[in-house]
Amino acid sequence: MKSKLLVALLCSLSWLSMANAADRYISDDVYAYLHAGPSNKFRILGSIKAGETVTELARDAQTKYVHIRDAEGRTGWVEGTFVQSEESFRSKLPKIESELINTKAQLSSVDERHEQDVLDKTNRLQLQDQELTEVQAELSALRQQHDKLNSENQRLTSLMDNEQHQMRLDWLLYGGMVAGIGALFGFLLPLIPRRKSRHQSRWMN
């Protein structure tokens, strides 16, 4: 009879303390039993999975048992050492899995952008290599053309020098011939006898 009254009293206290209810978590490394009262002397109502989120309704100061309500709506008492305020790994797992999926998606997007960036840079490098090859070919052709023009210029310069030298020789030759003819003419001219005019011969007679 006393035990029934004690259970009723505890239940009433638990309902009074529901205003202070807070989320708690069953430890990840235990398998807790749900008792009808605040000790292991009360019958077992069921079990609570490790890491499960529960709502704390009250605490027994003597036995340290905690009155909780689980996700299925069941109420009962579990040993206080099995209840923690820090979020359990099982509770964190869905969030962690979601974050992992988001991280993988972001990494995949980063990998795609990186691959596209590498492909773009590779294409630009190939295009630059092609342009460089074309420029080098044009430069080689210009050098060949320059060498050809330079060779032709040297040949024409040599021809001009030869012609100018030949012209100087010709002028010297012509000048020498003219001077020689003039000197010969000046030498022979006095030797040629002058013909007497008829009037002069008549006057002398």
Instruction: Output the pLDDT for position 11.
Output: 45
DSSP, collapsed to helix, strand or coil, labels residue 36 as coil
d(CA 37, CA 3): 10
Reported confidence tier of residue 169, pLDDT bands at 50, 70, 90: confident
Reported confidence tier of residue 24, pLDDT bands at 50, 70, 90: confident
Q: Dig out the tokens for 153 from the structure.
A: 């210029």
d(CA 145, CA 203): 89
Instruction: Output the pLDDT for position 98.
Output: 82
Reported confidence tier of residue 1, pLDDT bands at 50, 70, 90: very low
Task: Report which of 94, 74, 89 is spatially closest to residue 34, judged by C-alpha positions.
Answer: 74
pLDDT tens for each residue of 59-69 = 999 999 999 99
Cβ atoms of 24 and 68 within 8 Å: the answer is: yes
Query: Rounded mean pLDDT of 81-92?
Result: 74
**Which residues, including other chains, have CB under 8 Å from residue 83's CB and lie 6 or more apart?**
24, 25, 26, 27, 54, 56, 66, 68
Instruction: Output the pLDDT for position 4.
Output: 43
Task: Report which of 29, 43, 38 is spatially closest to residue 56, judged by C-alpha positions.
Answer: 38
d(CA 102, CA 96): 10
Query: Rounded mean pLDDT of 141-152?
Result: 90
Exposed, middle or buried by CB within 10 Å (0-12, 13-18, 19+), for 79?
Answer: middle
pLDDT tens for each residue of 25-58 = 766 666 788 999 999 999 999 988 878 888 999 9
Query: Rounded mean pLDDT of 77-90?
Result: 81
Instruction: Output the pLDDT for position 43.
Output: 95
Q: Work out whether strand 53-59 and strand 65-69 pair parallel, antiparallel, or are unpaired.
A: antiparallel
